[in-house]
A = this chain, B = another copy of it.
């Protein structure tokens, strides 16, 4: 047995559900469906019940305890009726459940130790007719059920665990990784776990997979997997360029040197204040942290705002002349925009290049703007251009964070906090205080790996 096979065999033992787990889950799913059908019988409309998701397809990783039941109503049912009937069925099936809201409301609750989602949707002829994203799920389910045999299902479990181990599993907007459905499509399309890694290793983004040969739309994403059930949709749209590269990296490393480690998420020891200080001493950089109460938003709303704010902070610092070594953002009760700068203080002057002297109107305007300005050095001519050395608006990261943060692109909720001044600025050693709430994040930051 090769190293690859030996490692994979070991992982399979952990990720393959046991026969008991399968039987128990099937029994519970059956009872849930029965309860749903009983509730439907009391409604004034027809509906059927469909189990979907990984536990319906045998592609769940051992220990996952999620059951997804969809209740399908006729396509001509008014939306408010669908929502009302859906909640009625949900309440009957999951008496202790509660209402959640995606594109429309559904019921979430616990049943016999499983986490159950009970979701109403429309029964449609084609996925292209969908009225909301959940209507697409039954089509995905059909498509995969028709193509997954036991071997492929096992390889899907392996690949999912691999994606979890390397930190890129999940299509939520915090992770920007690979969804379960995408993982299944890739394994089906490439024909197995190993074939998927070999393909990913050799990807040259832009990568386009189009299982059903729709060739319909152009997507502006580095990885395109055209949804077999909907030509207009790229299943991989959310996957970041970095996460594609991370998969490529680990595919290459694992195929060269198979190890079970790849299937285990990193779980770094949190740093304490002294640890952070010694990293800062070693790096000789100037850290800046903007800290505020995390806006009360679900992660799929919060993280895009934090990422946008982090990038806006970096861009703003660079525009004001700071060299930014790295940035990060973390959230718990408090949220942090973190930027590590090369230097604590910039000089008082900055070189400001004007147009070439021969670009007459432009050049004249530049010259006249500065000719009588006592606060600049110049204008003088260098390499054919006008140049002045003018005073910088700000010289320290703190000044930027205190006075200019509102100028940069921030997420809406972050912008409100910044506009209201509801944020703290930490510079230099004082960022070590973040170790209390973000020791694990700081550990990952100061031990970055591919």
Residues of chain A at the chain B interface (Cβ within 8 Å):
201-205, 222, 241-242, 244-246, 248-249, 252, 282-286, 325-326, 342-343, 345-351, 356-358, 360, 363-364, 367, 377-386, 389, 395, 446-450
> Cβ of B249 and Cβ of A357 under 8 Å apart?
yes
Shortest A376–chain B CB gap in Å is 10
Given contacts A326-B389, A450-B378, contact A347 B285 (CB under 8 A): yes
> Cβ of A222 and Cβ of B252 under 8 Å apart?
no
Given contacts A241-B383, A383-B241, A448-B380, contact A347 B356 (CB under 8 A): no
> Cβ of B349 and Cβ of A384 under 8 Å apart?
no
The listed residue (B282, B378, B395) touching A448 by CB distance below 8 A is B378
Shortest A42–chain B CB gap in Å is 54
**Extra A-B contacts (17), CB below 8 Å, given A246-B357, A326-B389:** A242-B383, A248-B357, A248-B358, A249-B357, A249-B386, A252-B364, A284-B346, A284-B348, A285-B348, A325-B349, A342-B343, A342-B346, A342-B347, A343-B346, A357-B450, A377-B448, A378-B448
Q: Which residues of B contact A245 (CB under 8 A)?
A: 356-358, 381, 384-385
> Cβ of B349 and Cβ of A447 under 8 Å apart?
no
Closest to A222 in B: B384
> Cβ of A347 and Cβ of B384 under 8 Å apart?
no
> Cβ of A325 and Cβ of B381 under 8 Å apart?
no
> Cβ of B377 and Cβ of A447 under 8 Å apart?
yes
Closest to A344 in B: B343
- In the assembled complex, the Cα of A204 lies from the Cα of B343 at a distance in Å of 41
> Cβ of A348 and Cβ of B386 under 8 Å apart?
no
Closest to A243 in B: B381
Given contacts A245-B357, A285-B347, A342-B346, contact A379 B205 (CB under 8 A): no
- In the assembled complex, the Cα of A346 lies from the Cα of B283 at a distance in Å of 10
> Cβ of B241 and Cβ of A349 under 8 Å apart?
no
- In the assembled complex, the Cα of A242 lies from the Cα of B386 at a distance in Å of 10
- In the assembled complex, the Cα of A383 lies from the Cα of B176 at a distance in Å of 13
- In the assembled complex, the Cα of A286 lies from the Cα of B244 at a distance in Å of 43
Shortest A329–chain B CB gap in Å is 14
